[in-house]
Amino acid sequence: MGEGKDYVSPDTLVISVSISELAKTTKEAQTRANEKVVKVNDILKANTIDQKDIQTTNVNVYPEYNRTQNSGNILMGYRSQQTMTIKVYGKDFWQKGADIVDAISKVWGVNVNNTYFDLKDKNVAMQWAREKAFADAKAKAAQLAQAGGVALGKPVMITDNNISYTPGPIYYAKAEAMGATADTAASVPGYSAGETEVTVNINVVYEIK
């Protein structure tokens, strides 16, 4: 078995947003939730986010009860919940993403659940990691062949055993903490992309001579 790792700079910020509204009727709850969706979409449009990079990933409407030991289940109303996933690309995407998160967070009833860095195309990073994994497997096999007093032949089977991709964490740095002045604070990125790790493990079976 061989293992290969590659570290690349992410080019995408993924933002998960949830909207939750409680009202007396399902229609009212959905109407209120949709109003918040419109506000979020307005923010995204103002930041030139393409519609194809905005996805509604979950919609739920259900009765909500206040469950108490003495009174039993008391209907409080109907809850409408929606989850949106937003992808931010392009130049200075981390700064644009930070601005979007800041603007969305100011909308009452809208929560930013999670943000993480990602790769728009993982294939190139995985290709490099796979080549490193193969070289690692070959080196190990050659060492074992030498120890066993045999010659290493051609590979007869190659399989990807495990591929893992670790999205980059979000690091937030306040302008003051970075020593920025009032004049330069606006130019200090809110997020630091860092690097993303791609790991590939492969199994290689060689013939021996």
Question: Which tens digits make up the pLDDT trace of 97-148?
Answer: 888 988 998 888 898 888 888 888 877 778 888 888 889 888 898 888 888 8
- Domain carrying residue 195: 2-7+122-208
Q: Is the pLDDT of residue 182 over 90?
A: no
Same domain assignment for residues 18 and 110: yes
pLDDT tens digits for 49-100? 999 999 998 889 999 888 776 766 888 899 999 999 999 988 888 888 888 9
Which among 78, 99, 118 is the end of a domain? 118
Same domain assignment for residues 28 and 57: yes
Helix axes 26-46, 93-105, angle to 10 degrees: 150
Same domain assignment for residues 44 and 102: yes
Same domain assignment for residues 34 and 100: yes
Distance CA 15, CA 98 (A): 10
Distance CA 120, CA 126 (A): 13
User: What local confidence, expressed as pLDDT, does residue 88 receive?
Assistant: 92
Q: Is the pLDDT of residue 180 over 60?
A: no
Backbone angles phi, psi at 194, to 5 degrees: 60, -140
| Residue 152 belongs to domain with CATH number | 3.30.110.170
User: What local confidence, expressed as pLDDT, does residue 178 receive?
Assistant: 35
Q: Which residues pair with 55 in a beta bridge?
A: 85
